[in-house]
Amino acid sequence: MTFSNVFKPAVIATAIASVVSINAIADDKADDIEHLSIFGHTNSVNDIPGSAHHLNKEALERFNYTDIMRTLTSVPGVYVLEEDGYGLRPNVGMRGTGQNRSEKVTIMEDGVLAAPAAYSAPSAYYFPTSGRMESVEVLKGTSSAMYGPRTTGGVINMLSRQIPEEELAGRLALQAGEDGFGKVHGYVGGSGEQVSSVVEVFHYQADGFKDINHSDADTGFKKNDVLAKLKVNSDSTAKYYQELELKVKYADESSDETYMGLTQTDFEVNPYTRYSASQKDNMSTEHKQLQLNHSIDLSERFSLGTTAYYNDFKRNWYKTSKVNGMSLSSGGIDAAAAFDADSSVGDLSVDVKANNRAYLAQGVQSTLFADLNEHQLKFGVRYHEDEMDRYQWVDTYNIDQNYDMTLATAGTPGTDSNRIDSASAIALFIHDQYTVNDFIINAGLRYEDMTIERHDWGKSDPSRDATPSHKKNDTDVWLPSLAVTYKVNQDLVLLGGVQKGFAPPAPGNDSAESEESVNYELGLRFNKESVNAEAIAFYSDYSNMHGNCTASQGCDDDNIGNQYNAGEVDVKGFELKAGYSADLGDVAMPIDLTYTYTSTEFKNAFSSNLDTWGDVVVGDELPYVPENQFQLTVGLEGDNWRGDVLVRYLGEMRVAAGQGSYTADDIDSRTVVDFSAHYDIAKNQQVTFNIDNLLDEEYVTTKTHGSIMVGKPRTMTVGYRYDF
């Protein structure tokens, strides 16, 4: 890549040293996260056109989730698909986009694309550690067009730990629970006259809630995340007030997860088991990030925020891919189940694939903010590069009658998948928020120009000596958006908008097309005293929806990476969010309701090798998009205590495109209840008690790979927090 030298650590260090020596700084005059946040410090969520939700520290700490998918269910129009039970592999979708590896949603941390290769390989296996986040911003609809490259569903921006405003402040939080769950979370930092900093450490782990048949192998995980920030800023009397912040992050993970689910028969006997053929399965990851944020107040009306970023992510998911020569979805699961029931049939042959991949993403983005009284303008530009280097192999094991798994044949690295997918992109946008009387008009235009490529050496050239096959896809697109809010009175706001939705084509397919749609929304927002409500109807009219074949969907090895174009698809629905806080004297009762209705329909007939689509006929509905989902949270809050009960309902889901009545092959509806309690034993000390899945509901999450994956059972944890 042509841009890599810009982000060498030595270059960054030199740049920091030079700026510090020139400016020698500190003050909180500027909004230091203005260009890192969707809403900033000055924008009210109530003024945003479309569905906008801000989950602040209090909301995140209410249930103390480390699973981002449990956190996001409080936002209407957001769909989550559980996989491992702990949220290690989030699958998040919005407004019918599909959830597979969150590939159709723009995920950011501190205003920067979080996916390791957001353009060339969006369905990656990395997601920021949500348990260390200070707040989460969710935006759907017209305003999300500023945050490409995917603009159909919406954007999730997670804001990491901000530097404390005090001279010295920090926290130590401990949590322990069933199945060996443990969490240690601490940070310390402060702000001086010229220099501010914070250091944060987050570690969590579990032994897992499943047992492997005939084996004492682990099914849990360990994950570490370390963050450090250093900020310097100019004196408040400086002509051009500036701030420079360096963010450094390191994370690693070892998780004994698998794609092997259970047969229906084994699920009914014991849903929390795994087959012995999965005993070697393990995901190991390492993530490094550098981010340099600079902001400058050019005048009272103009400010400029610039970010340079570098993300390096490596992972190897070493997992069972075939049993007795059969893929998991084509007989492999049944063979593994039969062997565990009776090993006297003979040794079992198991292929364990090393899904070894390295990702790199880097770029520079800048936003100019202009306050022109009635017009609030934003001008943005981003240059971005990313790549995914697949260098995989397959080891073959034998399992004997004692269920011992021994290596029979070691694979050669680079002989299974050996290619590099890469992308470079330039994005520009302009957004104008124009206020006239009781109207706020938001008009935006985004331009993306991207080149997506694949260099493939095949399976017989692990040294990459020969010239690889080369496929290239050049795409550029203009994405307009228009939204209007009308203030009926002090309490009621009407809103509506239209935008063009887009998702880039996949690399490696000459026939791959961009995903494009026109998206409409219309609704209202009401706020009065202790009552707040938002109701929005949405409609996405796809001229072309595409689906990307991934291992997580059960696609065969030779088909992974292929894109299938569905053509016209209609997605429409209704979102409701309402809250009320009842005053019961010495006790308050906050109530929060979230509801989403979604209807989907393929408008074309076609065939695909995408397992979740298959052979589609006109009128089929999208898989893994529930028609109804509902969440109700009721709390009681006193002076030094609080308790909350959360009831989450998810309707039936299809596992493949279809229509008419649901069948036994589809996924039943479920209701899961969580409970949380907090008690302040001192002004700066708190104890917590949490129960996830209070009623111990046994439920199916997915049926990919021809087998059943199960949700997490009832899990209790206790915690202690000390603030200073």
Is the pLDDT score of 680 beyond 80?
yes
| Amino acid residing at 570 | D
Lowest mean pLDDT among 384-393, 543-552, 556-565, 672-681: 556-565
Q: Which range scores top for mean pLDDT: 16-20, 52-56, 547-551?
A: 52-56
Query: What are the residues whose beta carbons fall under 8 Å from the beta carbon of 289, sequence distance 6 or more?
Result: 247, 248, 249, 250, 309, 310, 311, 312
Query: CA quadruple 694, 698, 704, 707: dihedral positive or negative?
Result: positive
Looking at the 3D structure of the chain, how many domains does it have? 1
Is the pLDDT score of 560 beyond 90?
no
Structure confidence by residue, pLDDT tens digits, 22-43? 233 333 334 455 678 887 755 5
Per-residue confidence (pLDDT) for residue 509, from 0 to 100: 66
The pLDDT > 90 percentage for the chain reads 81
SS in 3 state form for 606-626?
EECCCCCCCEECCCCECCCCC
Is the pLDDT score of 551 beyond 90?
no
Lowest mean pLDDT among 263-277, 349-363, 543-557: 543-557
Give the closest residue to 104 by CA, choosing from 120, 92, 90.
Answer: 92
Burial of 716 (0-12, 13-18, 19+ CB in 10 A): middle
Is the pLDDT score of 17 beyond 80?
no
Q: Is the distance from CB of 622 to CB of 657 less than 8 angstroms? A: yes
Residue 214: CATH number of its domain = 2.40.170.20
Structure confidence by residue, pLDDT tens digits, 487-531? 999 999 999 999 999 999 888 666 678 999 999 999 999 999 999
Is the pLDDT score of 96 beyond 90?
no
Containing domain of residue 265, as a range? 4-723
Around 133, how many Cα atoms within 13 Å sit in the side-chain half-sphere? 25
* Residue 19 banded pLDDT, cuts 50, 70, 90: very low
DSSP state, residue 110: T
Is the pLDDT score of 343 beyond 60?
yes
Is the pLDDT score of 12 beyond 80?
no
Q: Which range scores top for mean pLDDT: 31-35, 604-608, 711-715?
A: 711-715
Q: For the chain, what is the mean pLDDT?
A: 91
* Residue 113 banded pLDDT, cuts 50, 70, 90: very high
Q: Is the distance from CB of 629 to CB of 595 less than 8 angstroms? A: yes
The pLDDT > 70 percentage for the chain reads 92
